[in-house]
Amino acid sequence: MATMPPSPTMIGNSDEAHVDFNYQLGTSYEYDGLKASPGHKFYMLQVKVSSDKPVQTSLDWFWMEYKVNETDSVQVRQPFTTYMFKYPTMVIGPGTGAARGGLLFELPDKLADGYPKPCYYMPLEEQQGQYKVYDKVYGKVEDVQ
């Protein structure tokens, strides 16, 4: 009896998009007439997001992970508004260029070391289009121009 060769194992998913998320972070207790709540401050992110395959992007993809104390569980906060220039809703990928914008978060004033962590992700069941982002993408501090 002939032995069948094993089927090739697919590495990754053929519909998987790889996202590059860069940011610059600033903080302030006040922004454009808004004052942060007592014990909090504004974390302002300038972002640039690109992809190797066409995927949807919008403000809904961004969130900030944070802890106040090392022993706390990770908390998540979404931006409550955009600042400087609005983050677009569009398709990013080859031929469309990167999406850029400014996001404003209000978080506790004092955070555990290593926080906040800007994150880019939307649950798979909420993603639109042929290509998907399967894993959380943590931003890298780099130029966003």
Taking only the tens place, the pLDDT of each residue in 39-81 is: 999 999 999 999 999 999 999 999 999 999 999 999 999 998 7
From residue 103, give the alpha-carbon distance in Å to each of 20, 70, 78, 110. Answer: 17, 25, 9, 19
Segment (H or E) for 49: strand 40-51
Segment (H or E) for 55: strand 55-57
Position 12 scores a pLDDT of 53
Its pTM surpasses 0.85: no
Which residue shows structure tokens 């998913």? 13
Q: What is the DSSP-derived secondary structure letter of residue 132?
A: B
The span from the CA of 102 to the CA of 24, in Å, is 9
Q: What is the DSSP-derived secondary structure letter of residue 125?
A: G
For 127, half-sphere exposure in the C-beta direction (CA atoms, 13 angstrom radius) is: 21
Position 13 scores a pLDDT of 60
**Residue 142 tokens, joined:** 């780099």
